[in-house]
């Protein structure tokens, strides 16, 4: 894990191309105590150890299906779609062990982020590991890597000197061929040593979704309750033609029992 020194930072953003309903802004001052956070997302190998030691069964395994990007779906395709996002298909038997459904495996993806894990699954892993999920404020402070009000975890340019810095969609969406997830330590880390805080997979945070902010907050925990949990960072499917949420201030949410092939998590802990 990486130690984040704490202190005050400017949270949120006012990028003109952010969506107002996402509540990225206004920019506000947030003060945090020091904390620890995983340098990278939890991998398939790490999650496998957790399952082996505890016998844990994920929600997707119990429900019997999960959402898979259409290019990867082969067997088990159901008649389940997401309004406004027809590239997601429900696949019977899609789980963290078989991310594309029956016949697929994570054999050659041990160091990729675990996916098809719900918020509840992520929280169970964190508890087993003696950790917890990061608050949204912790996630963002860590993701900013010590930089102030930048668009990305490394600065304002998406690809400085033409160098790709994150795993986001390449080419026309959603038809160009997707490679899906990459190993959790792909690309250069940010200033705090965190890998892939932009792109690769969305990351669950501890907070319930909300869009109301105070101009100043100390160790904020988000709303007391809600129906969806905040996810941060964007995924390999993000592309500025439809979703530019790989920006470091960007945010969205999903219900705590949902799982998809592009959402994972990293853990935090007290110092
Ligand atoms: Cu996106």
Determine the distance separating the centroid of ligand 1 and the alpha carbon of 26, expressed in angstroms: 21
Taking only the tens place, the pLDDT of each residue in 46-63 is 999 999 999 999 999 999
Q: To the nearest whole number, what is the mean pLDDT of the chain?
A: 97
Within 10 Å of residue 66's Cβ, how many Cβ atoms?
Answer: 30
Determine the distance separating the centroid of ligand 1 and the alpha carbon of 239, expressed in angstroms: 6
Per residue of the chain (271 residues), give pLDDT as tens: 999 999 999 999 999 999 999 999 999 999 999 999 999 999 999 999 999 999 999 999 999 999 999 999 989 999 878 888 899 999 999 999 999 999 999 999 999 999 999 999 999 999 999 999 999 999 999 999 999 999 999 999 999 999 999 999 999 999 999 999 999 999 999 999 999 999 999 999 999 999 999 999 999 999 999 999 999 999 999 999 989 999 999 999 999 999 999 999 999 999 9
Determine the distance separating the centroid of ligand 1 and the alpha carbon of 6, expressed in angstroms: 28
Taking only the tens place, the pLDDT of each residue in 188-223 is 999 999 999 999 999 999 999 999 999 999 999 999
0.95 cut: is pTM over it?
yes
Determine the distance separating the centroid of ligand 1 and the alpha carbon of 205, expressed in angstroms: 16
Determine the distance separating the centroid of ligand 1 and the alpha carbon of 232, expressed in angstroms: 10
Determine the distance separating the centroid of ligand 1 and the alpha carbon of 50, expressed in angstroms: 29
162: left (phi over 0), alpha (psi -120 to 50) or beta: left
Question: In the chain, which ranges are continuous DSSP H helix?
Answer: 44-54, 59-63, 119-128, 136-144
Longest Cα–Cα distance in the chain: 51
How far is residue 63 CA from its own chain's centroid? 22
Instruction: Report which of 111, 97, 117, 109 is spatially closest to residue 39, judged by C-alpha positions.
Output: 111
Determine the distance separating the centroid of ligand 1 and the alpha carbon of 124, expressed in angstroms: 26
Beta bridge partners of 264: 203
The Cα 227–Cα 235 span in angstroms is 22
Determine the distance separating the centroid of ligand 1 and the alpha carbon of 52, expressed in angstroms: 32
Q: What is the pLDDT of residue 195?
A: 98
Determine the distance separating the centroid of ligand 1 and the alpha carbon of 55, expressed in angstroms: 33
**Which CA distances in Å does 38 have to 113, 207, 213?**
12, 17, 26
Determine the distance separating the centroid of ligand 1 and the alpha carbon of 54, expressed in angstroms: 33
Determine the distance separating the centroid of ligand 1 and the alpha carbon of 84, expressed in angstroms: 13
Determine the distance separating the centroid of ligand 1 and the alpha carbon of 146, expressed in angstroms: 23
């Amino acid at each position: 894990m990486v130690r984040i020194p704490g202190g005050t930072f400017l949270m949120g953003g006012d990028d003109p191309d952010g969506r107002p309903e996402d509540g990225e802004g206004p920019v506000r001052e947030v003060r945090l105590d020091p904390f620890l956070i995983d340098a990278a997302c939890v991998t398939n190998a790490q999650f496998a150890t957790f399952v082996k030691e505890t016998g844990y069964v994920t929600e997707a395994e119990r429900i019997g299906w999960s959402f898979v990007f259409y290019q990867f779906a082969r067997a088990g395709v159901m008649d389940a779609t997401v309004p406004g996002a027809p590239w997601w298909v429900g696949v019977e038997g899609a789980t963290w062990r078989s991310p594309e459904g029956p016949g697929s495996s994570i054999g050659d993806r041990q160091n990729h982020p675990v996916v098809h894990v719900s918020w509840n699954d992520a929280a169970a892993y964190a508890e087993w590991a003696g950790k917890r999920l990061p608050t949204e404020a912790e996630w963002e402070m860590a993701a900013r890597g010590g930089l102030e009000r930048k668009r990305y975890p490394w600065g304002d340019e998406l690809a400085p000197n033409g160098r790709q810095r994150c795993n986001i969609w390449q080419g026309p969406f959603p038809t160009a061929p997707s490679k899906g997830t990459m190993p959790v330590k792909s690309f250069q880390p940010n200033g705090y040593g965190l890998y892939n805080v932009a792109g690769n997979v969305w990351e669950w945070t501890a907070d319930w979704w909300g869009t109301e902010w105070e101009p100043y907050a100390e160790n904020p925990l988000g709303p007391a309750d809600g129906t969806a949990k905040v996810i941060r960072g964007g995924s390999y499917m993000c592309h500025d033609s439809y979703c530019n949420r790989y920006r470091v201030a960007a945010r969205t949410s999903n219900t705590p029992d949902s799982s998809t092939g592009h959402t994972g998590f990293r853990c935090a802990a007290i110092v």
